[in-house]
Amino acid sequence: MDNSKDCSMYTEHIESGKRKVTLNLTVNGRQVVRDVDPSMTLLHFLRDNLKLFGTKEACGEGECGACTIIMDGNAVTSCIILAVEAEGAQITTVEGLAKDGKLSILQEEYIKADALQCGFCTPGFLMSTRALLDHNPNPTDEEITEALSGNLCRCTGYLPILNAVKSTVERERKELDR
């Protein structure tokens, strides 16, 4: 079934007609090789080519954070990165958080804390939080706020998100101590 139109986005990738570039990268632990259009964004590549629809597009200009992914350990906005720039990169999207069909602690805590309503910004928030905790497992409130400064949420008012991050810190620490 061709589901390329099922999850259409705000913007559509238009083929440039320029010669394609072969791209090798690792997405959520899996090696991926594809020929891509040089003008395709990494966001469009993840959604259109790999059918990873968790990563969202909202502003498309790096302002809102809905398209945040982790690229080589850093949280970045995939809407303003070219797919071809990701050659050799290690990428984690929101689909990479759950393991063996079980949600990660981070995802469970977001649900418990009611850190989402419409949920459109959530994959971006999750990825920014994951990148933060990977670098700094015990962040201060200020460090959390700073790390999430590029993610906008119009529903929650941010406090439940802050609480979700803090309870994730607690649970992940206990998990490590076990």
Partner 1 sequence: MISRFTYFKPHNLIETVQYLEKEEKSFVLAGGTDLMILLRRNLIDAEHIVDIKALPETAAFEFIDGAGLTIGASVVVNRVVDSEVVKVKYPALNQAAASLASFQLRNRATVVGNICNASPGADLPPALLAYDAVVNIAGTQGIRQVPLHQFFTGVKRTVLQRGELVVSVQLPEPGEGDKSIYLRQTRLRGHDLATVGVASRIKPDGKVAIGICAVAPTPKRLFALEDMINERGLSHETIEWAAEEIKEHIHPISDVRSSALYRLQMASVLLKRGLFNLIGKED
Q: Nearest 10 degrees: CA dihedral of 92, 8, 157, 175?
A: -30
Structure tokens at 83: 């797919």
Name the helix (H) or strand (E) containing 134.
helix 122-135
One of 58, 116, 147, 153 touching partner 1 (CB under 8 A): 147
Strand, helix or coil for residue 156:
coil
One of 25, 76, 94, 106 touching partner 1 (CB under 8 A): 76
Least CB distance to partner 1 at residue 1 (A): 26
Give the interface segment with partner 1, choosing from 47-55, 78-86, 98-106, 155-163 (CB under 8 A). 78-86
CA angle 109, 170, 135 (to 5 degrees): 90
Least CB distance to partner 1 at residue 176 (A): 24
Structure tokens at 161: 């998100």
| Contact positions vs partner 1 (CB under 8 A) | 11, 13-14, 16-19, 21, 38-41, 44, 60-63, 65, 68, 74-77, 79-82, 84-85, 87, 128, 146-151
